[in-house]
Amino acid sequence: MKIIEYNKLVRDKIPEIIEKDGKKVVFERVGGGQLLKLLNNKLEEELVEYKASGSVEELADLVEVVYGILEHLGVSIEDFEAIRKDKSDKRGAFKEGLVLKKVIED
């Protein structure tokens, strides 16, 4: 018998997928502060994976975690997009590749 321990947040269908492969799964549902902590950990994990691979698929995983955090915080994707757009309108986006080198004050 081989047992692998993970103790990390996974996508909702992962236990079902593993069981269809003939394996047994032990999992628990969490919520509240514990879920937010695990989502934040997952955000870091997915960011590391994206930075290592540059893969659009990993970037999609990163966004999925962001969506999970938003849902936990009670913020709709539409409200989030409005916040993002407002900030972009006021402060710009990251399309022009501007690197701030110095600010000189007299």
Read off the pLDDT of each residue in 90-105 and give the average, rounded to a whole number: 96
Q: What pLDDT sits at residue 59? A: 96
Rounded to an integer, what distance in angstroms lies between the CA atom of residue 20 and that of residue 99? 49
User: Is 35 part of any domain?
Assistant: yes
Q: Report residue 106's pLDDT band, with 50, 70 and 90 as the boundaries.
A: very high
pLDDT (tens digit, 9 = 90+) per residue, 17-48? 999 999 999 999 999 999 999 999 999 999 99
Number of domains within the chain: 1
**What's the average model confidence in pLDDT over 64-74?**
97
> Is 42 a member of any domain?
yes
- pLDDT of amino acid 34: 96
Residue 59: domain span? 31-77
Is 52 among the domain residues?
yes
In a domain, 38, yes or no: yes
Q: Please report the pLDDT score of residue 38 as a whole number.
A: 97
- The verdict on residue 102 lying in a domain is no
In a domain, 54, yes or no: yes
Measured CA to CA, the distance from residue 58 to residue 46 in angstroms comes to 7
Place of tokens 């999609």: 60
Q: What is the pLDDT of residue 100?
A: 95
The reported pLDDT for the residue numbered 33 is 95
Residue 59 forms part of a structural domain: yes
Predicted pLDDT of residue 20: 97
Phi-psi region of 24 (alpha: psi -120 to 50; beta: other; left: phi over 0): beta
- The beta-strand segments (E) located in the chain are none
Q: Please check whether residue 84 lies inside any domain of the structure.
A: no
Task: Give the mean model confidence (pLDDT) for residues 75-104.
Answer: 97
Give the pLDDT score at 9. Answer: 96
